[in-house]
Amino acid sequence: MSVPLTNKTTERKKRAVSLDLARGAMLLLIVLAHAPLYLYNSEPGIMQRAESLNFFDQVVNLFGMFFIDNRARPMFAILLGYGLVLAFNSQISKGKSEREAVKTIRRRSWYLILFGILLAVFIGGQDILMAYGLAGLLVSWVLKRQIKTLIRTFTIITFIYCVTTPIIWGFNMLEIGNYGFPPEVSATDTYLVTLMGTLFSLPIIPLMIHLMFPIIPSVLIGMWMARYQLLTKPEQHIRTLSLISLIGLTVSLIGAFPLSFLGSVWHPSFFIAGLTYGLHMLTGIAGGLAYAAIFGIIGAMLKKPALFSYSLMALGKRSLTFYVWNEAMLVLFLSPVALDIGGQVSNGIAAMIAVGIWFLSVVIATLLEKNNLNGPLEILLRRLVYKKKGIRNIL
């Protein structure tokens, strides 16, 4: 027997459409971005992309440069920032003080760092949970402040990154002495060697990520979007979301053009190549913002989810579980410590494997949704953060 939806339930459902669709699609972008990092027998191409061996590889690499690389990460960070505000407001609505609510957010961030440690050390996956957990700790104080403070903080931090990021990457590429990054894995890697190496470098991993990549600005953008409920009430902000999508995609595509010419029709110095990569990274923030806005528009227009959107939402609701699952599957299939397919295939085949991993996640998430089962990591995080059973999932 169906139960009439209250206004609160309707609002929750509408929020789930935009946010969960975006999270589900984000997982595809991330697994595609991380797959090339395991291709240790391929010659370095441009930045983290392996050299193309055929036309299909070229298409995959160009698509990655324009739509995935340094665009998936900002989208993840934007959704994280949005989620922080939702979690904070949820605690306030339950009668908690602002101080208690911020403490809850910080406790959640510490547990994200813990999950990231377990992923990086024991599974060996490409982790960003530690960096995003640290981001939650760094920006949690803004949750209690006015929107003016949020905008001022974003402006200052973004300006610093705009100045420093290209220079840092310029010197980094000068040190590398190549347009492409050296492989992160090798044929001689074993599980124990990888585990010990990650364990020793663990304390500096999230700090280095924040130094090299502008994550905080994207998190603050997500918090700004949440303040205006752009994704929780997208039907009220269609014009704003459309404008954000148009401008964001334009900036993102323009910022990707110089990198796409690198090594083919343009052969600058390694320092200039690093500056170009820094530009690609900074304009990727606009791309991640555009992606989030696009899913806001889709959520507003989607009256009744079809099978694919239903499955994508099911995946998005369990984004933490399936982020870790996808990384574990990449290790299983591509890493030299497991099946070692990454030492035998090119970038195009690796991308197909990544899509297959993501599709399997969609199938499993759909089955969980049909059986009304939450993701195991979502359940664990909720119980750790709130120390009791039955609190609504805030991921």
Mean pLDDT of the chain: 92
Tokens 């995080």, residue located: 381
For residue 114, the model assigns a pLDDT of 96
Q: Which residues, listed in sequence order, are joined to residue 180 by a DSSP beta bridge?
A: 47
Indicate the burial class of 382 (C-beta count within 10 angstroms; 0-12, 13-18, 19 or more): buried
The 8 Å CB, 24+ separation contacts for 236-245 are 237/296, 238/297, 238/300, 241/293, 241/294, 241/296, 241/297, 241/300, 242/293, 242/297, 244/289, 244/290, 244/293, 245/290, 245/293, 245/294, 245/297
* Predicted confidence (pLDDT) per residue in 37-77, tens digit: 999 998 899 999 999 999 999 999 999 999 999 999 999 99
For residue 388, the model assigns a pLDDT of 57
Asked if pLDDT for residue 153 goes beyond 90, the answer is yes
Asked if pLDDT for residue 259 goes beyond 80, the answer is yes
* Predicted confidence (pLDDT) per residue in 98-133, tens digit: 999 999 999 999 999 999 999 999 999 998 999 999
Rounded CA gap, 162 and 143, in Å? 24
Residues 6+ positions from 391 with CB-CB distance below 8 Å? 382
CA-based end-to-end distance of the chain? 28
Residue spans of the domains in the chain: they are: 7-386
Rounded CA gap, 129 and 289, in Å? 19
* Predicted confidence (pLDDT) per residue in 279-316, tens digit: 999 999 999 999 999 999 999 998 888 899 999 999 99
For residue 12, the model assigns a pLDDT of 42
* Predicted confidence (pLDDT) per residue in 175-226, tens digit: 999 999 998 888 889 999 999 989 888 888 889 999 999 999 999 999 999 9
Q: How large a percentage of the chain has pLDDT more than 90?
A: 86
pTM for this prediction: 0.92
Helix, strand or coil for residue 180?
strand
* Predicted confidence (pLDDT) per residue in 70-107, tens digit: 999 999 999 999 999 999 999 999 999 999 999 999 99
| E strands, the chain, in order | none
* Predicted confidence (pLDDT) per residue in 234-257, tens digit: 999 999 999 999 999 999 999 999
Q: Which residues, listed in sequence order, are joined to residue 266 by a DSSP beta bridge?
A: 262
Are residues 34 and 330 in contact, defined by beta-carbon separation less than 8 angstroms?
Answer: yes
What phi and psi values does residue 44 have, to the nearest 5 degrees?
-60, 135
Q: Which amino acid is at 86?
A: L
For residue 305, the model assigns a pLDDT of 81
Which ranges of 371-395 does DSSP label H, i.e. alpha helix?
Answer: 376-386
